[in-house]
Amino acid sequence: MIKIFESEVVKVSKAFETSEYRNLFKEYGYDENEIQNRMSNIWETIFFGSDEDKFYFEVGDDMGFVTDTGNNDVRSEGQSYAMMAAVQLDDKDVFDRIWKWTKTYMWMDYGIHAGYFAWSVGLDGTKNSHGPAPDGEEFFAMALFFAANRWGDGDGIFNYTKQAREILHHCLHNPQPMWNHENKLIKFVPGVEFSDPSYHVANFYELFALWANEEDREFWAQAAKASREYLKIACHPVTGLNAEYAEYDGTPHNRDNHHRFYSDSYRVALNIGLDSVWFGVNEELTAAMERQQKFFCETNPGELNNYIYEVDGTRIDEEILHPVALIATNAAASLATSGENARKCVEKFWNTPLRKGDRRYYDNFLYLFCFMALSGNYKIWK
């Protein structure tokens, strides 16, 4: 496939087939050494920086956790994100520490949610909830498969392949499954019948279709197709924006203002951008991301980026909670798009530093993932 970037022609191939990953920063003229140095500095700041910057903490000789600094707890989201970052950037010690802490304190071995992970626990490991959040499970499974392929399986909980397959088995066969078996769409949480568009990572499901238990592989292949189709209808036909929670028909789920384009919603752009690198550009999803970039670069530029919006573009007189996350994910969408708005979004991200303060956890994790993706460091490990 050939994509046109103003005066340049760039060949975009499926990284799954070629093992070649785009460095969009380099394509746009940024210095390769500076790109890689920034990549390293982002990792070091988040995981080993000062107490004011980091949110990873080690416990004893062999465990560690990530704190949601805005809520003062540990979340399956954050633990699974940290494991994904660790395997991508080749830090097995961090990966194993986080996984052991997660299995020790977050895994549930009884009740209707047995086999899942509590979505929120205290810093001392006490469960705040005995309910799971499916985005944690899918990232745990994907990170574990990558760890097996990059470092090899170990014993017990460090038999990564076995652990990943068990997680995915529970996701589908638990008494309260995380996916709807009829439409193949991920649920917001088990026991409800609506979704969160940002949970849809079709590129992960393509790999689950290869590596999960054999009897479930066809389901995952269908889930990948279903999620791409779902995102097409979840992204607004004019603005490209998507709701935090949405019904199975893509319409916003009106619950506690989660029908708006807000926090969770930002991750969709990253997911679509990364999917386009790993498995190829989907023209309709690319068009949705072009609409979203146009919305923030042309329709509501500058300081207007910092407001909450309805998915139809109606502005709410309230500022967003995670402005750096929005800048980062708008840039990651450029892996699927082209043209001046794509370049503007990448440039804005490049010129934006990591976030400081209590809300840095979510913003800086998405900053890290988007930088990995845009620099060619977010890879499939076979």
The catalytic site residues sit at 77, 264
Sequence-distant (6+) residues with CB within 8 A of 366 are: 266, 267, 270, 322, 324, 325, 328, 329
- Measured distance CA(71)–CA(64) in Å, rounded: 18
Query: How would you label 59-89 residue by residue, b for 16+ Cβ within 10 Å and e otherwise?
Result: beeebbbbbbbbeebbbbbbbbbbbbbbbbb
What Å distances lie between residue 118 and 99, 165, 221, 333, CA to CA? Answer: 14, 18, 27, 31
CA 21 to chain centre: 18
φ/ψ (deg, to 5) at 2:
-110, 130
Name the one residue in this structure whose structure tokens are 């949610």: 113
Question: Hey, what amino acid is at 72?
Answer: N
Backbone angles phi, psi at 186, to 5 degrees: -70, 145
Cα–Cα separations (whole angstroms), residue 116 to 110, 171, 211, 280: 10, 8, 19, 32
The CA distance from 272 to 60, in Å, is: 38
d(CA 244, CA 269): 13
Of 241, 245, 268, give the one whose Cα is nearest residue 256.
245
| Rounded Cα distance, 101 and 140, in Å | 13
Torsion of CA 5, 199, 227, 84, to 10 degrees: 70
